Amino acid sequence: MTYTLYGMAGSLYTARARSYMRTHSVPFSEVKAGSEEFVGKVVPQIGRWIIPVIKTPDDAIIQDGAEIIDHLDGAGFSKNPIYPTDPKLLLIAHLFELFGSHGLLRPAMHYRWNFDEVNLPFLRETFRDVLPSGLPKEAEDAAFLHASGRMRKAAEVFGVNPDTYKLVEESYAQFLLLMERHLQEHPFILGGHATIADYGLIGAMYAHLGRDPAPLRLMQISAPNVFRWVERMNMAEVFVDDSMDRSGGDLFESDALPDSLLHIMRFISDDYVPEITAHVDRANSWLEANPEVETGAQTNNKSMKSGLGLAPFEWRGAAINTVVIPYRFYLLQRLQDAFDRQPQEGQTAIRAIFESTGLETLFTLRTNRRMERQDNQEVWGDIQP
């Protein structure tokens, strides 16, 4: 009954799946993505090189962190409910899933690729996970240069450039401070156990910001409780600390949410809503210009090039352009679908919390066509009502 996780120690999205697998004691082996097994057998089945991927004990292949977690949750591995049953908490969990997987790309890329003096020897080693085994030294160096060159370009299309370095650092310092204040009192984002909120955030917070030497040091020095949470998110043991609120495992009461959580939500509104708004606008202009796109057509989702181009927006007073990634719309839709499923009065109560933190636009901000996943790829769906 063992699973295989194909990934990379330094990969943001692998960290999300791995964290679930570790914290819920899923038996698995991790096989590096540079392996012949992955490149030769798995990639052809998915149709693109992308991680994470799991192979189940009955040889099914699943790509995508959210789908991997849902599959394992459905198989009964979750020790606690990772989707809160309280509708308000559920919607907040989806918010963190969306922001966590795409709202922290600027600090994740900046602190990885703009601190070569401290990070480079470590990155060179860690990137061996995506290289074939047994390469001669020279070929390995060339392959690292190629792979890291692509990632440095990705940092740029996520909005990291010399004009924004300072803003990225300020924004991340603010985020770390808010997370530190929250995690000083509560073990996880929504209280006593991890939910999809935590799994969304852990990708960037572990793989880059809690593992690469420069940002790891920053986290340990300026936000020790965030570092402790990163550790908790990678361990199978039950965490007990009776000095913390709800360390027995219960989630918050949704009518008494701690201010520290609402402050992080307000941060997400300021930092991320302008970006996702610009991306939805850009996708809708693209859809208007490309009306012939058929339902089921693949979006060519890539980290750096999606075919939807760059979206311009103002971020912290700077004009930036970032690449539009279709997968974000899929996560945004998960939040909206969860909202749409609630009865009217439930929606009113949820809306009140999102309005008080400047996030209500997320319920109406929709691409004109749905974003679906089929055969491990993002594809355009039907026109949204």
Determine, following the binding rule CB under 6 A, whether residue 22 of this chain makes contact with ligand GSH: no
200 is a site residue for ligand GSH (CB under 6 A): no
Q: How far is the CB of 203 from ligand GSH (least distance, A)?
A: 8
123-159 per-residue burial string, b: 16 or more CB within 10 A, e: under 16: beebbbbbbeeeeeeeebeebbeeebeebeebbbbbb
Task: Please state, as a whole number, how many other Cβ atoms lie within 10 Å of the Cβ of residue 55.
Answer: 22
Of positions 12, 157, 280, 324, contacts ligand GSH by CB under 6 A: 12
Find, among 239, 256, 201, the residue nearest to 16 by Cα. 201
Instruction: Please report whether residue 158 would count as binding ligand GSH according to CB under 6 A.
Output: no
User: What is the C-alpha to C-alpha distance for residues 292 and 10, in angstroms, rounded to an integer?
Assistant: 39
Regarding 52 and contact with ligand GSH (CB under 6 A), the answer is yes
Stretch that binds ligand GSH, among 49-57, 220-228, 272-280, 342-350 (CB under 6 A): 49-57
Stretch that binds ligand GSH, among 48-56, 104-112, 269-277, 358-366 (CB under 6 A): 48-56
Kindly report the CA angle at 336 between 330 and 337, in degrees rounded to 5?
85
Nearer to ligand GSH by Cβ, of 98 and 179: the residue is: 98
Stretch that binds ligand GSH, among 10-18, 119-127, 311-319, 350-358 (CB under 6 A): 10-18
The secondary structure element, H or E, covering residue 318 is: strand 318-323
In angstroms, the CA 133 to CA 143 distance is: 12
Tokens matching residue 140: 């390995």
Q: Please, which of residues 57-96 interact with ligand GSH by CB under 6 A?
A: 64-65
In order of 115, 117, 149, the CA distances from 121 in angstroms are 11, 8, 15
Residue 302 sits in the site that holds ligand GSH (CB under 6 A): yes
Q: How far is the CB of 305 from ligand GSH (least distance, A)?
A: 9
Tell me: does residue 34 bind ligand GSH (CB under 6 A).
no
Of residues 6 and 354, the one with the C-beta less far from ligand GSH:
6
Which of 2, 36, 45, 49 binds ligand GSH (CB under 6 A)? It is 49
User: What is the C-alpha to C-alpha distance for residues 316 and 159, in angstroms, rounded to an integer?
Assistant: 12
Copy the structure tokens of residue 282: 């850009």
Q: Which one, 123 or 251, has the nearer CB to ligand GSH?
A: 123
User: 């990934």: which residue's tokens?
Assistant: 7
Residues within window 311-350 making contact with ligand GSH, judged by CB under 6 A: 327
Q: What is the DSSP letter of 114?
A: S
What's the closest the beta carbon of residue 247 comes to ligand GSH, in angstroms?
29
Is residue 11 a contact point for ligand GSH (CB under 6 A)? yes
Cβ-based neighbours of 180, under 8 Å, separated by 6 or more: 222, 223, 224, 225, 226
Q: Any contact of residue 218 with ligand GSH (CB under 6 A)?
A: no
Give the shortest CB-344-to-ligand GSH separation in angstroms: 33
Is residue 30 part of the contact set for ligand GSH (CB under 6 A)?
Answer: no
Q: Which run of H or of E encompasses 373?
A: strand 369-374
Residues contacting ligand GSH: total by CB under 6 A: 12
- Give the three-class secondary structure for 321: strand
What is d(CA 90, CA 82) in angstroms, rounded to the nearest whole number? 9
Residue 303 touching ligand GSH (CB under 6 A): yes
Q: How far is the CB of 48 from ligand GSH (least distance, A)?
A: 7
Q: Which is nearer to ligand GSH, 172 or 327 (CB)?
A: 327
Q: Region of 61 please: left (phi>0), alpha (psi -120 to 50) or beta.
A: beta
Report the alpha-carbon distance of residue 7 to residue 277 in Å, rounded: 31
Is position 165 an interface residue for ligand GSH (rule: CB under 6 A)?
no
The verdict on whether omega for the bond into residue 274 sits within 30 degrees of 0, i.e. cis, is no
Q: Say which DSSP state 244 is in.
A: S
Q: Is 50 a binder of ligand GSH (CB under 6 A)?
A: yes
Q: Is 109 in the site for ligand GSH (CB under 6 A)?
A: no
Q: Which residues bind ligand GSH (CB under 6 A)?
A: 11-13, 49-52, 64-65, 302-303, 327
